[in-house]
């Protein structure tokens, strides 16, 4: 990218201080740096952290009067509509996971609350995404595994999300629909593709970085699942992941660290924090839409011919668990440093995530959520 | 629409003179009428003819200095890029066929040449499409059948089009890619959905207008196939259809007329002119991409388990023919008034359609095209 800009005489600055798993401080630092110059456009080269940081910088430098919380999702922020024009943003994903190049969502960790939240508005959507699997060639093994699980969960959660026509209250005008509007026939198209591709190519892409067919398919699947969840939305795996990653930096001795990720600070990789509760999430949601759960399991490679609808959640759960086992995902929350003493704090972090909780296929009590965390202490 | 505009105090004029299967004269009349007023926006309520006419009016009234041929596809027109800004255009399709609400294409019959051509530029794409199956409730039986065959052919042609990475010469910049860029993984997603939906719902939607499940699925399939062909492109069924509809107004006594369509002038409905050669087109193209043809046949409902790759064209052809038979499509070109004496003129009308011919899965000689027409004289 730098060579291309230079050879076309386009002056540019590189902002190197993006934080892996951004926080409000890291967003604000990027906004401050971008605000000091007067850039014509932004280019985000990296994974979701980089693309989301560029979205936030673009949003706030183009409206310097805005307070940071103005655009952050309610109830934590004010969730104001975006009415000003942003600069062009070109997103070049170098992981096969985020889908951020297709969405109007930027996620960050609000440090004062130890909870992830975000900004969701279609104005944030990049002008252009460049989806080239060669950009993933140097992705470390754990990054390809965990970003791939993010893809699988994006697709599974959007595909099983509450159907858009069952979401209440209905807005009086389509323009007032939330960014995460529930499953719908258009998002379904993308999710099905991503699940089918993941069944066939995810293991190959992780195990053999030079398998360009598999890496290409997973890079496209990441983008397609992005279109799916960017319009349908994600629900409990993502909702439950935010407190996991929020607390993950402080549990056990110095927080969790994973091979292949930045060693400057402790972090639970996003895809890992998302998939770690997935088996128990889908066991919990299965009864609310058994046909969807069975179809998702089939797309992920399960033979569902003789499976009963009442076992739908379990069938999908087993399929996800098999994939986790094959790709060496740690054995549950306990392997990330959590124990029963953390469950209350985890649950507290989920309860305010109304935006995600409300499009799960069924409502959840505090006990339901605590139960999912408890049952996710071990995965296998 | 009129009630909604009136109740919101939005002044409007209705332009009632859209021609079913537009011509350059009918486009020019609409452009003239629209140019006389200074509208803020356009709303197209109808089938492809209405939406395409609104696109043309919008394109030319926003650049009154342009000559009509400036934007018409080369070699008939100059194919100039569109660099000015158009007005908002809202498309409300009332047939389940065109997909025009999703595309940057407007097709018309150039009367002086008795040939269909068009304008293809993403600037023409409507700002918004309203896809509501209730709008198709009063669609006559033949309109639902022929517009549905347009959907099937949009999907089949885009799905079997030359893959985008095999099209030559390759442009040096992605911006210079033609609107019809060949089959690609994104268009494939939409085509597969449309074919699968057509296999399950097309017959039901035609036979029972009150079957809202089927009508909904076909209305969505029309839109999805529109996204597919709007990016991949259509090839021989559409390329061969243009001279059929061009000549169809003059063959036999006074030209062909179909129940359910305007009786002000003779016309061969677009979907009928497209599907009438489809069985022979896919027999011809099958050898160039047998796997794609077999998959398309399977999506349309064929059991391809034991079919040989060398029979792929025939297998898809048979599947299309069965659908035509079930939905009472006339028995070939002879039933529309054509005989062997018309073949030379038909072929002459196809040869200049480079834009469509070049993305067919294999090149075609003059004799190949004549042979397809000859073999399409009877369908069953």
What is the predicted ipTM? 0.76
Backbone angles phi, psi at A92, to 5 degrees: -120, 90
What pLDDT is recorded for position A117? 85
DSSP output for B249-285 = TTSTTT----TTS-SSS----HHHHHHTTHHHHHHHH
The residue that leads in pLDDT, B294 or A263, is: B294
- Give B213's contacts (C-beta < 8 A, 6+ positions apart): B201, B204
- Choosing among A155, A165, A185, which should be mutated to test the B contact, i.e. which has the most B CBs within 10 A? A185
**Residue A347 in tokens:** 């649950």
Tell me which H or E stretch contains B5: helix B2-7
Nearest-by-CA chain B residue for A224: B186
What pLDDT is recorded for position B112? 86
What pLDDT is recorded for position B56? 98
Q: How many CB pairs under 8 A join A and B?
A: 9
What pLDDT is recorded for position B122? 87
What pLDDT is recorded for position A378? 97
Tell me if B189 and A189 make a contact (CB, 8 A cut-off): yes
Tell me if B189 and A220 make a contact (CB, 8 A cut-off): no
Nearest-by-CA chain B residue for A189: B189
Write the pLDDT tens digit of every residue in A176-203.
778 789 999 999 999 999 999 999 999 9
What pLDDT is recorded for position B177? 79
- CA dist B110 and B100 (Å) reads 19
The alpha-carbon gap from A160 to the nearest alpha carbon of chain B, in Å, equals 19
Please indicate if any CB of chain B lies within 8 Å of the CB of A190. Answer: yes
CB A26 within 8 A of CB A108: yes
- CA dist B292 and B163 (Å) reads 11
Residue spans of chain A under pLDDT 70: 252-253, 263
- CA dist B65 and B60 (Å) reads 8
Beta-strand relationship, A115-120 and A105-110: antiparallel
The alpha-carbon gap from A204 to the nearest alpha carbon of chain B, in Å, equals 20
Nearest-by-CA chain B residue for A194: B189
Please indicate if any CB of chain A lies within 8 Å of the CB of B185. Answer: yes
Beta-strand relationship, B42-46 and A128-129: unpaired
Tell me if A190 and B190 make a contact (CB, 8 A cut-off): no
Give the pLDDT band (50/70/90) at residue B16.
very high
The residue that leads in pLDDT, A250 or B208, is: B208
- Give A377's contacts (C-beta < 8 A, 6+ positions apart): A332, A333, A334, A338, A339, A340
- CA dist A147 and A97 (Å) reads 4
- Before B169, cis peptide (omega within 30)? yes
Please indicate if any CB of chain B lies within 8 Å of the CB of A193. Answer: yes
Nearest-by-CA chain A residue for B190: A189
- CA dist B107 and B20 (Å) reads 11
Please indicate if any CB of chain B lies within 8 Å of the CB of A189. Answer: yes
Beta-strand relationship, A115-120 and B89-93: unpaired
Range in A117-121, B40-44, B259-263, B278-282 the model is least confident about: B259-263
Beta-strand relationship, B42-46 and B89-93: parallel
| 3-state class percentages of chain A: helix first, strand second, coil last, to nearest 5 | 55, 5, 40
Please indicate if any CB of chain A lies within 8 Å of the CB of B174. Answer: no
Please indicate if any CB of chain A lies within 8 Å of the CB of B299. Answer: no
The alpha-carbon gap from B334 to the nearest alpha carbon of chain A, in Å, equals 40
Q: Which domains does chain B have, with CATH numbers?
A: 2-130 (3.40.50.1970), 140-375 (1.20.1090.10)
């Amino acid at each position: 990218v730098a060579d291309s800009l230079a050879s076309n005489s386009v002056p540019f600055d590189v902002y190197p201080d993006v934080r892996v798993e951004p926080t409000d401080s890291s967003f604000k630092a990027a906004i401050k740096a971008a605000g000091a110059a007067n850039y014509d456009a932004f280019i985000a080269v990296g994974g979701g952290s980089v693309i989301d940081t560029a979205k936030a910088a673009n949003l706030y430098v183009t409206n310097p009067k805005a307070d940071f919380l103005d655009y952050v999702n309610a109830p934590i922020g004010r969730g104001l509509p975006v009415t000003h024009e942003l600069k062009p943003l070109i997103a070049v994903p170098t992981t096969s996971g985020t889908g951020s190049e297709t969405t109007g969502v930027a996620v960050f960790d609000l440090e004062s609350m130890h909870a992830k939240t975000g900004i969701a508005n279609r104005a944030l959507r990049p002008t252009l995404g460049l989806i080239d699997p060669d950009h993933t060639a140097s992705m470390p093994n754990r990054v390809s595994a965990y970003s791939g699980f993010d893809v699988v969960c994006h697709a599974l959660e959007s595909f099983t999300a509450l159907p858009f026509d069952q979401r209440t209250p209905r807005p009086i005008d389509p323009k007032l629909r939330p960014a995460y509007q529930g499953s719908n026939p258009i998002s379904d198209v993308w999710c099905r593709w991503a699940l089918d591709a993941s069944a066939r190519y995810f293991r190959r892409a992780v195990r053999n970085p030079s398998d360009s067919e598999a890496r290409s398919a997973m890079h496209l699947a990441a983008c397609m699942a992005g279109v799916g969840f960017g319009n349908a939305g994600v629900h409990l795996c993502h909702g439950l992941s935010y407190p996991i990653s929020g607390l993950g930096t402080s549990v056990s001795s110095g927080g969790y660290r994973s091979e292949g990720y930045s060693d400057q600070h402790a972090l639970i990789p996003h895809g890992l924090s998302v998939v770690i509760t997935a088996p128990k999430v889908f066991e919990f949601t299965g009864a609310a839409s058994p046909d969807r759960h069975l179809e998702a399991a089939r797309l992920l490679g399960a033979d569902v011919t003789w499976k009963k609808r009442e076992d739908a959640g379990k069938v999908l759960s087993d399929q996800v668990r098999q994939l986790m086992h094959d790709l060496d995902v740690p054995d549950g929350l306990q392997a990330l440093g959590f124990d029963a003493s953390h469950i209350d704090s985890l649950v507290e972090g989920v309860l305010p995530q109304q935006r995600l909780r409300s499009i799960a296929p069924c409502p959840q009590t505090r006990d339901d959520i605590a139960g999912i965390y408890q049952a996710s202490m071990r995965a296998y």
